[in-house]
Structure 1
Amino acid sequence: MPEDNMDTPCMVTCTAPMNIAVIKYWGKRDEDLILPINSSLSVTLHQEQLKTTTTVAISRSFKEDRLWLNGKEEDISHPRLQSCLREIRRLARKRRSERNPRSTESVGLSHKVHICSVNNFPTAAGLASSAAGYACLVYTLAQAFGVEGELSGIARQGSGSACRSMYGGFVQWIMGSKEDGKDSVAQQVEPESHWPELRVLVLVVSLIYTFL
C-alpha cells in the first residue's frame, strides 16, 4: 500500500461472484468461527450476470471506519464484518514486520477505511448476496492492504458460503477438523469449463392475488 502520501486516499475496487450450493452444509459446529458440520460443494456463477462490486478507500483523513451497501450507510460494527477487518489488518502488520523486523512504522495500517459495496442483483433475496459481498470485501481489503495468500478462511468468518465465492467453477468448502478453523477453507474442485453446458436460471416472478 502506498505510504508516501496517505492524505490522498488509497482506493481499490474489485468484484466477486455469487455461488449456488450443490451440496449444502447442514448447520455449524461453531457459530463464532462459522465452522460447518459437513463439507459442501457449490458452483460459482459468472460475473457478467451476477456480482458484487466493492471499493475500499484508506486515508489518514478518515475519522472512522464506514460502510455503504447499495448506496445506504450501514452499521460497520457488525461482529462478522469486524472479524474480517481485524484479520486483514493483523496479516498486513505481520507482512510488514517480516519485511523489516526493525521497523516500528505502521503508516497506513492504523488509518480508517471507507467501504462501498453494490450488488447488481437483489440483496437478501436468497441469491447468496452475503457470500458475494464478504468474498468481495475480504479480497478488496487484502488488495488495499497488500495481503497475499489464502483468504477464503477469512471470508468464511464473514459468511460461511463466502469462502466458496473466492474461486470460480466448482468449489468445495472443506469442513476441517481443527478447533481454530484454520483448515476450514475453500478449494476449487473443477474449473467452470468442466461442465460447459450447465446453466443456472434466476427467474423474477410477479405474484398476482385473486380474491374470491
Structure 2
Amino acid sequence: MGLGIETRHQIARRAALEIERGMIVNLGIGIPTLVADYIPGNYGVMLHTENGILGMGGSPPPGKEDGNLSNAGGYPVTLIPGASYFDSATAFGIIRRGLLDITVLGALEVSEQGDIANWIVPGKRVPGMGGAIDLAQKSKKVIVLMNHSDKEGNPKIVKNCKLPLTVKRGAHMIITEKAVIDIENEKLVLREVMYPHSVEEVVESTGAPLEIRNEVMTFQ
C-alpha cells in the first residue's frame, strides 16, 4: 500500500532536519522531492540536479511553468538567486568529485550493511538507473526515504538485499513512515519512531536486527 500525502510530507519534513546551512544537496524522485519544501529559505542550501542545475528551487505555481526548466525527473522547477546551469557532464563531475554533502533518494531494499537496491525489479522494464550509482557512492551522506514494507507487507529493510544492488554500503540513514534508523558499522541503530508507531511495531516489521542504544524519541 502506498503512503498518504500527510505521511509522505512527515518523512520529508524529518529528512530536512538533516540538512545544514550552506550544503549542496541532491534530491531524488518521489518523496525526496518534497524535502525542498522544508529547507529554510535563509539556509543558503543549493539543490543540485543531474541534468545541470545548481540552485534549484521548488515547484512553480500552476501556469507559471517554464518548459525549458525541469529537474532530472522531468518535473518543472524554479531557481533561487545565484543558481547556475551547466551540462550533464559537469553535473556528474560535481557528484564524482564528492562535492555533494547529502543525497536523498528512494529505495526498493536497504540491507543492514547499508547496501542499496533501488534501480530495477527483475522482469520489469525501467528506463535506466540514472545517476543512482554515482550519487549513492560519492555523496558524503546518503539518506534513504521509503516505505517500511512493500505492497505485500514484506520488510524493505533486510539483512541482505535480494534485488540487484545499486551500491554496497552506501546508505547512512533510513527514514520510513515508521522509523528513523542510522546505519553505523554495518548495524542498524533505531534513532526515532515516527508518530503514531511504537518501538515494538518497528522492530517486528524490520527484516534485520535493530540496536537500541539510547531512549528512542518520537517524531510527530
TM score, norm. by length of structure 1: 0.28
Greater Rg, structure 1 or structure 2? 1
Where relative contact order (Cα < 8 A, 6+ residues apart) is larger, the structure is 1
Structure with greater helix share of residues: 1
